[in-house]
């Protein structure tokens, strides 16, 4: 097995927290349910990076003295407080960097924690059997390209020479994917208040395979956000579309608008372009969320000609429950969950 890049800083521990909202993504401006849950995390550690609309990374290296540096105990505390005080179920991943923690959270399932020990064997045991789609940022289009070249698992990607990955994906993306496949991620957890944003979410009643219905749901979300922005007198400079699949994994794409806008047609066009860029085809989609960020007062907007869509809510309201997540545990990882959950303790 190739050695791969060097690991991150010794002793580092990161928690990735995913909040299972009902509906999956609340329409929040950062001061509602999501903002209150971020405050809960900041009671545990000041090093919290918001990842709206439903996630956050927490640097817990060392941790509070009362927990003797035990990240599993901190994860249990967060899960308990989120459920007790806010009625929100969480999935938490704990590992030595942000990518591994996010993948562990995806594998945890609602109400559970997956902890990946720092040992190289444990990291490899967790990563190598997983499908390439488990790597954050690998959407259906990239996955199809990798599978076409015989790279179906993270282990297969890790074993592929870096020059080959660069030829397939481009220099920057090939480098990033190689590092992630080896469990390497040097990105820091960057604390700070989350930027102002508006979100809208749609949960399908069943796993949605029809591209037309999915695209119409994306357009409805953009219409709804446009109406809220116009009501608030705000314009958005960036859109982020997040897709949650039947197995609980997610893919996100974001794009800066040519100029900040609250125009319905502009937002719908940009959101649908993001959707098309994912190349979902027959993927089993559980839910969608759209976030408008980089908000400014509408006085900064350039004059826009054309008609906007009505300000109504559209048909993108959530009508499903929690996103389903697999209760699997990778080799070397441990699963922590409620007393009646299978899969072992901390």
Where is average pLDDT lowest: 23-37, 182-196, 246-260, 311-325? 311-325
Instruction: Give the model's confidence band at 64: pLDDT under 50 very low, under 70 low, under 90 confident, else very high.
Output: low
Q: Is 3 a domain residue?
A: no
CA distance 101 to 113: 10
Domain housing 134: 14-189+325-336
pLDDT at 306: 41
- Judge whether 345 lies within some domain: no
Residue 231 has pLDDT above 50, yes or no: yes
Which residue, chain included where needed, has tokens 């219409």? Answer: 223
pLDDT at 31: 56
The reported pLDDT for the residue numbered 313 is: 38
Q: Is the pLDDT of residue 249 over 60?
A: yes
Which CATH number do you get for residue 248?
3.30.1490.100
pLDDT confidence band for 344 (50 / 70 / 90): very low
Mean local confidence (pLDDT), 144-157: 96
- 41 and 150 belong to one structural domain: yes
The residues near 299 (Cβ < 8 Å, ≥ 6 apart) are none
Can you tell me the mean pLDDT for 196-204?
86
The answer to whether position 342 is within a domain reads: no
Asked, for residue 310, whether it belongs to a domain, the answer is no
> How many Å apart are CA 129 and CA 180, to the nearest integer?
14
Q: Within 10 Å of residue 346's Cβ, how many Cβ atoms? A: 15
Kindly state the average pLDDT of the residues 15-26. Answer: 82
Question: Is residue 308's pLDDT more than 60?
Answer: no
Tally of domains in the chain: 2
Residue 197 belongs to a domain: no
- Would the pLDDT of 326 be above 80? no
Backbone angles phi, psi at 281, to 5 degrees: 50, -115
Strands 234-245 and 285-293: antiparallel
**Quick count: other Cβ atoms within 10 Å of Cβ 319?**
11
Total number of residues shown for the chain: 346
Task: Report which secondary-structure segment, H or E, holds 251.
Answer: strand 250-261
Residue 63 is part of a domain; what is its CATH number? 1.10.150.20
Contacts of 177-181 with CB under 8 Å at 24 or more apart are 177/135, 177/138, 178/4, 178/5, 179/5, 180/99, 180/135, 180/136, 180/137, 181/4, 181/127, 181/135, 181/154, 181/155, 181/157
Rounded to whole angstroms, how far apart are CA atoms 143 and 220? 28
Verify that 27 and 125 share a domain, yes or no: yes
From CA 127, how far away is CA 23, in angstroms rounded? 31
Identify the pLDDT of residue 138: 87
- Of 1-10, 76-85, 166-175, 313-322, give the lowest mean pLDDT range: 313-322
Task: Tell me, yes or no, whether 119 and 143 share the same domain.
Answer: yes
- Average pLDDT of the residues in 231-240: 90
Higher pLDDT, residue 24 or 52 = 52
Are 61 and 174 found together in one domain? yes
Q: What is the pLDDT of residues 274-289, one digit of tens each?
A: 999 988 888 899 999 9
| Residues pairing with 336 in the sheet | 113
pTM of the model: 0.66
In this structure, are 155 and 223 located in the same domain? no
Are 217 and 251 found together in one domain? yes
- Does residue 182 share a domain with residue 54? yes
Assigned domain for 319 exists: no
289 CB-near residues (< 8 Å, 6+ apart): 24, 25, 53, 54, 199, 200, 201, 202, 221, 241, 242, 244
| pLDDT, average across residues 110-115 | 96
* pLDDT confidence band for 329 (50 / 70 / 90): very low
Has residue 273 been placed in a domain?
yes
Reported confidence tier of residue 79, pLDDT bands at 50, 70, 90: very high
Q: Which residue would you say has higher pLDDT here, 312 or 78?
A: 78
Q: Is 4 part of any domain?
A: no
Q: d(Cα 51, Cα 1) in Å, to the nearest integer?
A: 34
Distance CA 201, CA 329 (A): 29
């Amino acid at each position: 097995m190739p050695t791969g890049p060097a690991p991150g800083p010794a002793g580092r521990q990161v928690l990735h927290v995913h909040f299972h909202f009902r509906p999956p993504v609340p329409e929040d401006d950062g001061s509602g349910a999501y903002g209150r849950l971020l405050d809960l995390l900041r009671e545990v550690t000041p090093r919290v990076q918001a990842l709206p609309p439903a996630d956050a990374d927490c640097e817990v290296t060392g941790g509070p003295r009362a927990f003797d540096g035990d990240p599993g105990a901190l994860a249990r505390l967060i899960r308990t407080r989120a459920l007790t005080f806010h009625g929100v179920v969480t999935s938490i991943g704990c590992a030595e960097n942000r990518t591994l923690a996010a993948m562990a959270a995806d594998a945890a399932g609602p109400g559970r924690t997956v902890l990946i020990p720092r040992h190289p064997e444990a990291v490899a045991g967790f990563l190598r059997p997983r499908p390439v789609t488990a790597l954050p940022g690998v959407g259906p289009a990239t996955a199809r390209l990798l599978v076409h070249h015989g790279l179906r698992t993270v282990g297969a990607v890790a074993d592929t020479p870096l020059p080959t990955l660069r030829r397939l994906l481009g220099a920057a993306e090939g480098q990033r994917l190689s590092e992630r496949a080896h469990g390497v991620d040097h990105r820091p957890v960057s604390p700070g208040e989350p930027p102002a944003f508006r979100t809208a979410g749609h949960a399908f009643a069943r796993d949605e395979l029809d591209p037309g219905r999915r695209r119409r749901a994306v357009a409805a979300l953009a219409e709804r956000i446009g109406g809220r922005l116009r009501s608030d007198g705000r314009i958005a400079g960036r859109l982020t579309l997040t897709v949650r699949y039947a197995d609980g994994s997610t893919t996100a794409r974001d794009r800066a608008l040519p100029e900040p806008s609250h125009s319905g047609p502009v937002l719908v066009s940009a959101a649908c372009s993001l959707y098309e860029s994912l190349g979902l085809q027959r993927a089993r989609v559980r839910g969608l969320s759209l976030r408008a960020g980089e908000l400014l007062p509408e006085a900064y907007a350039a004059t826009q000609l054309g008609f906007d869509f009505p300000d109504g809510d559209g048909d993108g309201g959530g009508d499903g429950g929690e996103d389903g997540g697999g209760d699997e545990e990778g080799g070397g990882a441990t699963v922590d969950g409620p007393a009646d959950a299978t899969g072992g303790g901390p």
